[in-house]
Chains A and B, each alone.
Chain A
Amino acid sequence: MAEAAITTYGLSKRYQKARHFALRDLELNIKPGEIYGFLGPNGAGKTTTIRLLMNFIVPTRGQARILGLDTLTQSVQVKDKVGYLAGEVELYPKMNGRQLLAYLSDLRPPPISGYVNVLCRRFKVELNQRISSLSRGNRQKLGIVQAFMNHPEVLILDEPTAGLDPLMQEEFFDLVRETKERGATIFLSSHNLTEVQKVCDRVGIIRAGRLIKEQDIGDIVASSVQVFNIAFAKPVPEAQLRTIAGLKLILNSQHHATIKVRGDLRPLFRVLAKHQVRALDRQESDLEEEFLKFYRGQS
């Protein structure tokens, strides 16, 4: 069995003068080639975890390993294999993008010449403009380029799509998928559930410094509530629909209903097959409600 890409053993952090642990006994085991979404509300411990993995802060107890290397004692070797994007991308304001990337390339030369330019073109990065005059989105694009330009084996990304417009978000998700295809592991923290749903294989949910649930994204989607807006040619077959277990029916008009159903969709479609359906619109699977339950502590 291949060695895990990221593992943590009882990783905990209590900041100086803090009464409570920001992160407590985190146990992670992320497989090579996996995209792992780390979800939680603000202040849950996502950034603390990432800063521990990057050895920016020292654990109070526990240990983390990336590609088998200890993040504390073998930090330099770890960073030779890791790409990192901070939640708030902070770059040298007086430099332009070209100078910044040259500096970072001096610290870690990219293995494939020309790849930096490919990424810059792809994300339409402003290379000749001073960083201080760039918008947040443009700074974020520069941050993405510097994180990916070394073809890292592991990527640690903190809220990576913050500030990106929808087109650039899609470009970013494509890049993440391509990066996974070449075998890299991606650890992605977010509180944006839709983006996690788009790219992640598995998610971990953190609340108040504790990992409270880990699940494959497919399982979550399968067990989540799905919402359909249906227009019938004749009156809504209310009685038949109400016989379906786990179904919630909202009558919008005599011919139009919103249906929320959890799990297996076959009973719903059996009923629909017996009626003339004029239009059926499936709303994007709403993971938000699922996660909010965890966030609120209702799990």
Chain B
Amino acid sequence: MWAVLHWTFWQRRWSTLWWCTGVSSFIILSLSFYASFRDQAVQLNEVLSRLPNAAHALISDTTDFLTPEGFLSARLFYLLLPLLLSILAIGLGSSLIAKEEDRGTLEVLLSRPVSRVKLLAGKALAGLIIVLAVSLVSLITAVVVCRLVKLEVAFDRIILATLLSTLLALVFGVIAFAVAAHGRARAASVGIATLFGIASYLISSLDEVVEVLRFPAKLLPYHYYRPGEVLVGNFNWRFVTILVSVIAVLILFSFLSFRQRDLND
């Protein structure tokens, strides 16, 4: 398992570095305008108040965009960070197994004395650590930029919001991983996870506005992602437990599916 882990990192060392650079750049770009926003708060509030509720819901989970917490949620945690981390996680989830299977290199690995469970564990662990590494870099960048632009939000709340973003991204990544482990092609695993992610975001964002969406929203992971609340100090461990449970169930499903199925030719 450790050899698989080690060599998966080695293969992805440059892409991980690029991801860290890219996500950090996005965060810097996104937050560095805070001073301008703060100086034009009155005018912006007027503009934002004219937006329909549905548009508000798609931008943020808080209506107060111009407090430090509201700004940070709207500009970073509600959409940008989970989106970027989800793209990374879905890409990893689909390629760690499916790319090897499509290319035929999975057989090379499985011709060695390594069990399927250990191979999958090595791959899953590698994916998890890469997502966590990019999340950690994102967290550090966010904290540093917040300090530089005087965006005063408590450090521990930024940590918890990043943790929640990471968990949400991992849910979508693990969906892709589970689909790939079940034997579907890479494109299918990316497609299913992305579709689920977009649907989850849209339905959960609009559930306050569209009543019929309230129940289905509860079945989707985005419903349990409330960065605005976390940043004002209302961290809900129940939501974390739900997201972690979904990840655990999907990983278990992946292992059971992959343990004894035909490898694609």
Confirm or deny: B238 has a beta carbon within 8 angstroms of a beta carbon on chain A. Answer: no
Query: Is A86's CB under 8 angstroms from B108's CB?
Result: yes
Interface size on A, residues (CB 8 A): 30
In the bound complex, what is the Cα–Cα distance between A47 and B104 (angstroms)? Answer: 14
Binds A, one of B58-66, B112-120, B151-159, B190-198: B112-120
Q: For residues 108 through 130 of chain B, which have their beta carbon under 8 Å from a beta carbon of chain A?
A: 108-115
- Count of A-B contacts with CB under 8 A? 65
Question: In chain B, what residue has the closest Cβ to A103?
Answer: B7
Please report the C-alpha to C-alpha distance between residue A75 and residue B6 in the assembled complex, in whole angstroms. 23
B113 touches A88 (CB 8 A): no
CA distance A58 to B265 in the complex (A): 13
Residues A107 and B3 in contact, CB atoms below 8 Å apart: yes
Within 8 A of A (CB), among B1-39: 3-4, 6-7, 11
> Chain B contacts of A75 at CB under 8 A?
115
The answer for the CA separation of A240 and B95 in the assembled complex, in Å, is 73
Q: Which residues of B contact A82 (CB under 8 A)?
A: 111
Q: Decide if B107 touches A86 in the complex (CB within 8 Å).
A: yes
Contact: B107 with A54, CB < 8 Å? Answer: yes
Q: Which of B45-53, B201-209, B256-264 contacts A (4 or more CB under 8 A)?
A: B256-264
Chain A: which residue is nearest B104 at the CB level?
A: A90
Type the 1/0 row for A46-66, where 1 means its CB is closer than 8 Å to any CB of B: 010001001111100000000
Return the CB mask of A7-33 against B: 1 if under 8 Å, else 0: 000000001100000000000000000
Residue contact B113 to A103, C-beta cutoff 8 Å: no
- Whether the pair A90, B108 counts as a contact (CB closer than 8 A) is yes
Assess the A108–B11 pair: CB atoms within 8 A: no
Determine the distance from Cα of A205 to Cα of B114 in the docked complex, in whole angstroms.
32
A residues near B105, Cβ cutoff 8 Å: 90-92
Q: Which of A57, A92, A107, A108 contacts B263 (CB 8 A)?
A: A57
Question: CB-nearest residue of chain A relative to B102?
Answer: A90
**Set of chain B residues within 8 Å of A80, measured between Cβ atoms:** 113
Q: Does A36 lie at the interface of the complex (its beta carbon under 8 Å from any beta carbon of B)? A: no
Q: What residues of chain A lie closer than 8 Å to B260, measured between beta carbons? A: 58
Q: Which of B108, B110, B115, B262 contacts A91 (CB 8 A)?
A: B108
Whether B263 pairs with A104 at a CB distance below 8 angstroms is no
A70-95, CB under 8 A of B: which get 1 and which 0?
A: 00000111011010101010111111
In the bound complex, residues from chain B placing their C-beta under 8 Å from that of A76 are: 113-115
Task: Tell me, yes or no, whether A106 is within 8 Å of chain B by CB.
Answer: yes
Contact B115 A84 (CB under 8 A): no
Residue of B nearest to A73 (CB): B260
Asked whether, in the complex, the Cβ of A90 is within 8 Å of the Cβ of B3, the reply is no
**Contact B108–A104 (Cβ < 8 Å):** yes
Contact residues of B between 74 and 118, Cβ < 8 Å to A: 103-105, 107-115
Q: Are B104 and A88 in contact (CB under 8 A)?
A: yes
Distance of B122 from chain A, by nearest CB (Å): 10
Contact of A54 among B3, B11, B111, B114 (CB under 8 A): B111
Task: Assess whether A92 is in contact with B112, with CB atoms less than 8 Å apart.
Answer: no
* Residues of chain B with a CB closer than 8 A to A93's CB: 103
A103: chain B residues at CB < 8 Å are 3, 7
Query: Do A56 and B107 touch (CB < 8 A)?
Result: yes
Contact of B103 among A79, A84, A90 (CB under 8 A): A90
User: Which residues of A sit under 8 angstroms from B112, Cβ to Cβ?
Assistant: 79, 104, 107-108
Q: Taking the nearest CB of chain A, how far is it from the CB of B10, in angstroms?
A: 8
Collect the chain B residues with CB atoms within 8 Å of residue A79's CB.
110-114
Task: Please give the distance in Å from A69's CB to the nearest CB on chain B.
Answer: 11
What B residues does A77 contact at CB under 8 A? 113
Distance to closest chain A CB from B118 (angstroms): 9
Q: Which residue, of B4, B111, B261, has the highest number of chain A Cβ atoms within 10 A? A: B111
Which residues of A does B touch, CB under 8 Å?
15-16, 47, 51, 54-58, 75-77, 79-80, 82, 84, 86, 88, 90-95, 103-104, 106-108, 146
Per CB-CB distance, the 5 closest pairs between chain A and chain B, nearest first, are A90-B104, A106-B3, A107-B112, A84-B111, A80-B113
Given contacts A103-B3, A107-B112, A107-B113, 5 further A-B contacts (CB under 8 A): A55-B110, A75-B115, A88-B104, A91-B108, A103-B7
B interface with A by C-beta (< 8 Å): 3-4, 6-7, 11, 103-105, 107-115, 260-263, 265
Task: Offer 26 A-B interface pairs, CB within 8 angstroms, sorted by A.
Answer: A16-B262, A55-B110, A56-B110, A56-B262, A58-B260, A76-B113, A76-B115, A77-B113, A79-B112, A79-B113, A79-B114, A84-B111, A86-B107, A90-B103, A90-B105, A92-B11, A93-B103, A94-B11, A103-B3, A104-B108, A106-B6, A106-B7, A107-B3, A107-B4, A107-B113, A108-B112
